[in-house]
Structure formats: C-alpha cells, structure tokens
A and B are shown apart, each in its own frame.
Chain A
C-alpha cells in the first residue's frame, strides 16, 4: 500500500510539518510532564536530585523523540508495524531467558545505557500491529471468526509472555488496549459479550482454584487480591500501601497541605512515593483541586486524541491514535484506581509523572506516531 491510497490534497513537507502538529496534545503532555517534575522535586524533599533532574532530561529526550517521530510519515510506521511487533515479542522471549529479576519478576534487559522493559514496548507495538492489520483487512471480513482469531492471537502472545514474568498489570493493559482497538475496528459486539462472560467465568475459576492443586495464580497475587478486597486485614504488610495511600489522599482534603508539606510522603509513610504512588503525594499536597486538575489534564489528552482519531480519514491513523489513547488512559486510570483503593496494587506507573525511563520514552514515542498520523492525515 502506498501513499497514493490517500485522497491527499495537501501534505505539509519539511519544517512546515511543525505547524501541523497537534499542539494542544503536545502542550498537555508537557504540562503533565511538568506536574511530574514538581512532584518529584517535592518527594525528594525539595531537591532536583535524585529524581526531578534525570526525569527532566529524559522527558526532554522523549519530547524530542516524539517530534522526530512525528516528522516521519505515518505510512512508514504502518509499514514497520509488523516488524516492530516481531521485535518486541522476540525481546519478551529474550527477557524471559536472560532478563534481570526485579521485584520478583523478570522485567528488563540491561542495555548498558538504559534498562529496556520489553513489556512497555509491546504495549505500543501491539497497538501498531492491530491498527495495521485492520487497515489491511477488508471491512467485510472484520467479524469473520477466522479474522478475529488472528488478532486475538496477536494479543495473547505478548500477554502470555508478560504474565509469566509475572506482571499482571501490564498483561491486563495489553489485553484491554488490544481489545479496544478491535472494538473500534468494528468487530461484532457478540465477541466482546462472549469474552466478558468468559472473563467472569475465569474470575470465578481463579477464586475456586485457590488452594487446590491447579491453582491459577501465584500466592502473592492472591494476597494482593485479598489485600485489595480488605486492606484492613493486613494493615502492616501488604495492606500497608493501600491504607497509607488512602490516608495521604484523604488527608489532603480540599486544598491540600501545601507544596512540600505532605506529611505522609515527607515522613516516608508512603511506599514507592516517587513511582507508582506519586499521585498520592500530589493529592496530599494539592488536595482535591490538584488531583482533579491532573485528572482533567489526562481527560483532555484523551478527548483530543479521540477527536483527532475520528476526524482522520485514514483507518490506520485513526485506529493507532485510538489504541495509543486507550493505552495512555489505561495507565492513568489503573494507577489512580489502585492508589485510591479501587483496584489491586498491580504496579502500573502514573504516565509521564512517575519516575522512570522506559515507560515515559515509549509513551512519548507513541505520541510521536499519533502526531505523525495527525500531521500526515488526509486533507
């Protein structure tokens, strides 16, 4: 397939492309990034080290990467989608074989200059592949069982590799993002109904299997579920995170305790306050107003993404944009649900705010592709 498929009247070229970027989204991403710097500065006790400054550098690099990727025509990314997917699956295999073990799970490969988490990569490449797939697939065949089975396989392959790491959070993200792309691509709703029904069945099976010889999850995962369902059961160990996180959030109140005045985070009652639980610090120091503002920023990003997706006549671009938006949405939604005690602690960072390299770089790269789709959309 080629460029000629578009009924293109005008495509910007050269540096003029910059003008055609989706600037609202870029600025929203930058604002979210700044919220991250602020919070990392705060949790370090008012210091750029050890988190805020590296985060700024990485964000700058990621933002530059986003712009570079945005300059590359979208059809290039469509053409490399299958390859990117294949590479990330291969890396997932590699991490299974040679990966470093961190937090009880094999998650990254040390590349020397950075630690690569193939599971982060897989979230985007899966979305790319599915978008390319449904762009290629004739519309009439979309709901044909055979042509449904194939993308399901594409989803389940990396998911399975992530589950055995084991990383429950990322595997759920993969399934939901993949399913979202399939849904938007027009797969018949009956499939989703069937999967939801089956999902309920699995949940029941998971609970029933506990303590039997065919136990489906690891003990620590069951404990996380227990803790989630009743944090007070184990207030000093597994439930500690959720309990302290809720205390931090709630004690923030309407207007918060003030910048760098969060007692829960400053006195180390919050676990992993610079990564997964950074939202609690924000909510503690800036209160409901601060927390709701961040939520609004995130929601605006999603709204702008959906807007650009539905106005883009190119099917790959639209599906890719939706896929990226859903992945981004799942990140912050799961993280917030988790710290607010509505979901089990599954280890999903708050996108662009939590300290961490690969997740942020991969997300900004993905937004680069989304921008590319926007820049190169048929006009």
Chain B
C-alpha cells in the first residue's frame, strides 16, 4: 500500500511537532541536571569540600612518653624502657605468609602456639592490618630481623615504650603500677582523653601511678594522615609533637624503703617513717609485696591467683588501707585530752587493782595483779589500762575523739596512694549511724585504750606521733616535686597544745623505751644522741570472755594466726630533738613490745644513720643477734639487687 503525499505530509508535520515537544521535555531535564550541578558544585561546594577533607584526612594521636618517677635522691623508681615487637602485614608479605613465618621463626625464637595464632590472624584479618607476631623481643632478635629484612617481606620491627619498675617490689604499694586501659576505666572517667582510646595504652592502675595519672600521662601529639576509604594510611601530611608527662619525685628514700621492706620481710605488716619537720614520707612499706613488673607485662593467671589467695594480702597497701585498733598507742590521745582539759595533772595518781568495775562489768588491765598507784609517767611506761579507764570516765568520749582528730586520727590524709582510709574516731553519732545503738560508757572505756570502735591506719599513727613530737599539725607529703616544681611541705601550723603537757607526755614516752619498767625497754637505743621515745600497742582482734578469763587467758602463740593480737609500735627520735616519726604494725604479730618495737628500733636507727647502724647503738646483750640479723638482711638485699641487675640486662 502506498501512502498518499498528503498523508505523508500531515504525518511528517505531526511527527516534527511531537519530536520537538519531546525535545523540549528533554531540554527541561537537561536544565534540571545543569541546575543541580550548579547547586552542588558552586553553591554547596565549600560544604562538600569540607566533607571530602574530613573523609580524606585522619588525625592520629602520638602517645606521649609517660613521666618518670624518682625517689628523693633522684633514683629512678618507674621509667620507660623500649619494648620491641615484630609485626607483619599480609599484603606486603608477597603471597606466601607461612614461608615468611617459617623463615622468621628460624631467626627468632617464637613459641609455636603464638606462631600459629599469628598465621591464623594474618589469613583472617584484612590484608593491611599489622599482626604482632612476637612481643617483647630482645634487641638482638630485632637486629637479626632488621638485617634479614630482604628475606622477610611484610615483617617490620617496631619500638614502643613500656613501663619498668627497677626497684621491683620495694615500691609496689607506693608507686603502684600501670596497665592497659580497660572498659571499666573508660566508664569511670568522664570525658576521657582520646589517648585512652588507643588500644593497649597504659595508664596508672593503683598507687601514685593512678593518683597522679593526669600529670604523668602528658599531652598527646597529633599527626594528620591521608587515608583511603578502607582506612589505610597513604601518607603523612604533618605532625605536631605532644608533651611528655611530668616527672614526679617522691619524698621516699629508696635505701630506707628498701631496708624497711626487707626488715618487715614476709610478715604481714606495715611501717612508716615520717620526717617530723616536713611531713615527708621517708619510707612507707607494706609487706608482703609483689613485683609490679609482672602486671605491666600481663600477669599470668597462676601468679595472680597466688597473690589473691595469699592470706597476708600482698596486693593491699596496709600502710594506708589497713585499719587497726591502735591499742595502747592511743593512750597518748586520752592522756593529752585529759591534760588539755585540765582534769588531771601528770602527777595525779590512780590506783590500779588490775581491773575497773563499772555497772557490774569488769574492765581488766592487761596486768591481772594490777599496777598499784600510777601517775602519767608510769601508766604510760607500764601501759596501765585502768589509769586511762579512769581518765576516760572523767573526760568523756567527745574530748577523746576531738583530740584524736587534732592529732591526725580519723581523718583522711591526702597522699597520692590508692584507698587511703580515714579510720574511725568514734562519737555518739557514729555509733548510732553505724550500728543503730546508743553510746554506753563502756564504749568510752574501751576507746580510751584504743580498742572498741577506734580504728587507725599505720600512716595515721605515724602522723599522730609526728604531731606529738613537734606540737605542729604535721601532714604527710609523698610527692616532693612535679617536673622540678617543689610541692608544699606538710610542716603544718602549731596545734595550740600546752607545751608543758606535751613535754610531760614526751617524757612519759621516753620512759616507755628507756626506763627499766618501760614496756619497750628491751628495744631501747643506747646511743645517747639518737635515743627514741615511743609507745607499744597490743590490740585485740577478739573479745575475751569471762569464761575464758576464768580458765586463764589462752596464750597468744597458741591461737590461730588470724586471731592473734596485732603488734603496734610508734616512736619518734631523737627524743630530745625529733627528726623522724615511725609507726610499725605487725598484723597478728602478738605483743607490741616483743614483735613491733624491735622492728621500729631497727628502722629508726637505719633512718637516723642513713645506713647500717653501728652495733654500739644497741644494748650490749643484743649485739650478736643484731649483727647476725644485719648480715642476713645485707645478703638478702644484695641478692635482690643482683636479680634486678640481671632483669635489666
């Protein structure tokens, strides 16, 4: 069929019209495209440029070097040591990962299970992820890897910094330790430093490391790197170095600390030496201790279990965290409270028949036969209990507690150690709040000799002693300087106590260690310039029942360890011009005079001489025994020093 010309013409005209309409529609779409381009590329360009830069540029943190910790003489206690590890990247290994790993393990000893894990990780993880094949590798091994680099594609040695505690267990409780940031740490900290998000970044976990963390950590540096979509770093654009952490100098003398720790040995005990004048903590020991380096490198389950299962609780800093009834070491508080209240004079006497009967209940003196008539001097020297019962009934608990607080008990001393405890100086309100019971006069009687509700830490006892020795409100200072800036001392203001009362009390304390009837006469110092004044304490951790009393009190040594009495001793020396205050607590150690006083004397002499004291300072009959002990401690310390040197090499 042939189309007519007219037909063709109309159809052609219609087609043209329709085609142009369609073209118009297309033009409209093209216009939309053009406008959209203009909108995105011209109007919104700045915003998108910013987004593209955000995509491309990644800011990476450069961890700062952690501040070091020194003792008062500038000896390093915590430092950073390079730690080497061997990383491997699959992409760069050139195909055969296992071949490279075999070559590597021929050069460097790598445990088989670690090798297997690395091999599995390399195959599993993304190709550009560095996998640590060996950690804490020696310098020799690292050199071998570096020399053989051409044969080990994808293998790279890496240097990081790791914490090391060259003094080992001596400072474990003071300085504490660092460890990798945990989720718990992050939760605890408000608005955490982005540094903490770096995997395996180390922060202080306990002790000074934790308490001065912010100072020690320093400020992170940053580097800007260009990354691709999968996060791989293409190149470094620029970097800004961070600021290393501040160095912290402690007031502790490492030699004294070393000696005290060694002298306490494996007993469950704590001892503190304070500088009376400045409050500087010269030694603060808690035993048994542990090696903090174990934690830095990741402690094994067995080692950790051994520490937590030990009944002597080696992980606990007993010096500040341990709370004990101060026992007779509290008698100075009661005496001073009464003297200051003007109720007694030092010459007033009390008759001790061996017990005090109070509303049908008998409060015994430790000496069943009684001390007879005693004044302040004798009551303290012989540690008569009834004398203090009598004072307590006269002045009441409020005056005793107030005096205890003035002397530094029952308040939290601000030193940067973990779990520093406030202790208890009981009041009526305390008992009501804590036990929902009313205060009875018997509680006052118990408190007068540091039993009952009274609780104090060894640090507090040392502070109390320093305050008695100086009459000033000495506060302990643990940090001497931060980045060379001297920290305020704990010298303190005068307490406003009557000097003559203090002098009488000091003379009584002198009698404890220097009078023939003193409870610590056996632990006296005979070197005249260094004589000490102190007080023994034996605090009960159980109640002695009437029935038991009638049978005759069980001898302490026959009790199971955890029910024996705590042995305490506090002293200051030299007695006439006090330089140091010492407190020693030996958990369940028995009597204060037998267990704690000799330790305190040895520590005192060591501190005053600054070295092993001459035997001449000891009473003649003790000298041979002391000599043996000194030699034994010397050997032990030397042995520890040797292992340290080996560990560092």
Contacts and interface: CB of A to CB of B under 8 A. Distances in A.
Contacts of B3: 5, 138-139
Contacts of A139: 3, 7, 10-11
B120 interface: no
A292 B386 CA distance: 105
Given A186-B11, A246-B48, A267-B229, A253 B34 contact: no
B22 A5 contact: no
A247 B51 contact: yes
Interface residues of B, number: 46
Contacts of A246: 40, 48
Given A247-B52, A264-B55, A288-B42, A299 B30 contact: yes
A164 interface: no
B19 interface: yes
B33 A310 contact: no
Contacts of B20: 306, 310
A264 B57 CA distance: 11
Nearest to B43: A250
Contacts of A58: none
A326 B22 contact: yes
A264 B52 contact: yes
A154 to B, nearest CB: 19
Nearest to B49: A251
B52 A263 contact: yes
Interface in B1-40: 1-3, 7-8, 10-12, 14-16, 18-23, 26-27, 29-30, 32-34, 36-38, 40
A251 B57 CA distance: 14
A11 to B, nearest CB: 18
A302 interface: yes
Residue among B2, B21, B37, B229 facing the most chain A CB atoms (10 A cut-off): B37
A244 B48 CA distance: 10
B41 A248 contact: no
Contacts of B14: 186
Contact of A302 (B1, B23, B48): B23
B493 to A, nearest CB: 63
B15 A315 contact: yes
A249 interface: yes
B359 interface: no
Interface string B563-578: 0000000000000000
Nearest to A266: B228
A250 to B, nearest CB: 3
A326 B227 CA distance: 42
Nearest to A249: B40
A309 B21 CA distance: 13
B44 interface: yes
A268 interface: yes
A269 B229 contact: yes
Contacts of A27: none
Interface string A264-308: 100111000000000000010001100110010011001100100
A353 B227 CA distance: 28
Contacts of A268: 228-230
Contacts of B23: 302-303, 306
Contacts of B40: 246, 249-250, 340
A322 B8 contact: no
A283 B37 contact: yes
Given A267-B234, A292-B34, A322 B45 contact: no
Given A139-B11, A251-B48, A267-B234, A333 B22 contact: no
5 contacts: A244-B55, A295-B33, A310-B16, A318-B15, A333-B29
Given A253-B45, A318-B15, A342-B32, 10 more contacts: A184-B15, A250-B41, A253-B41, A263-B53, A267-B228, A267-B229, A291-B37, A292-B34, A306-B20, A337-B33
> 10 tightest CB-CB pairs across the interface, nearest first?
A250-B48, A251-B52, A268-B229, A253-B45, A267-B228, A288-B41, A251-B48, A310-B16, A251-B49, A250-B40
Interface of A: 5, 138-139, 180, 183-186, 244, 246-254, 263-264, 267-269, 283, 287-288, 291-292, 295, 298-299, 302-303, 306, 309-310, 313, 315, 318-319, 322, 326, 329, 333, 336-337, 340, 342
